[in-house]
Chain A
Amino acid sequence: MSDINANGEMTRTGEAGFGDYVALLKPRVMSLVVFTALVGLLVAPVPMHPFLTFTCVLFIALGAGASGALNMWWDADIDRVMRRTRNRPIPAGLVEPGEALGLGLALSGIAVVMLALAANVAAGLLLAFTIFFYVVIYSMWLKRSTPQNIVIGGAAGAFPPMLGWVCATGSVSVEAVLMFMLIFMWTPPHFWALALFMNNDYKDAGVPMLTVTHGKRVTRNHILIYTIALVPFALAAGFTSIGGPIYLLVSAVLNAGFLYGAWKIWRRDEVQAEADHYATEKAVFKFSLLYLFLHFSAFLLEAALKSFGLGGW
Chain B
Amino acid sequence: MALHTEHEIHQRRFGRNVGLGVVLAAFVVLIFGMTVVKVTRGDPMQAFDHTARPEMVPVEPAEGAAQ
Interface residues of A (CB under 8 A from B): 1-2, 14-18, 21, 49, 51-52, 55, 58, 117-118
Contact = CB atoms under 8 A, between A and B. Distances in A.
B16 A51 contact: no
B37 A15 contact: no
A15 B41 contact: no
Contact of B37 (A1, A21, A49, A58): A49
A2 B12 contact: no
A51 B34 contact: yes
B9 A118 contact: no
B31 to A, nearest CB: 8
B13 interface: yes
27 contacts: A1-B7, A1-B8, A1-B9, A2-B8, A14-B9, A15-B9, A15-B12, A15-B13, A15-B16, A16-B12, A16-B16, A17-B12, A17-B15, A17-B16, A18-B15, A18-B18, A18-B19, A18-B20, A21-B16, A49-B37, A51-B33, A51-B37, A52-B34, A52-B37, A55-B30, A55-B34, A58-B30
Nearest to B30: A55
Given A1-B8, A14-B9, A49-B41, A117 B16 contact: no
Contacts of A21: 16, 19
Interface in B13-39: 13, 15-16, 18-20, 30, 33-34, 37
A117 B34 contact: yes
A159 to B, nearest CB: 23
Contacts of B8: 1-2
A295 B16 CA distance: 39
A55 B38 CA distance: 12
Given A16-B16, A17-B12, 7 more contacts: A15-B16, A18-B15, A18-B18, A49-B41, A51-B33, A51-B34, A51-B37
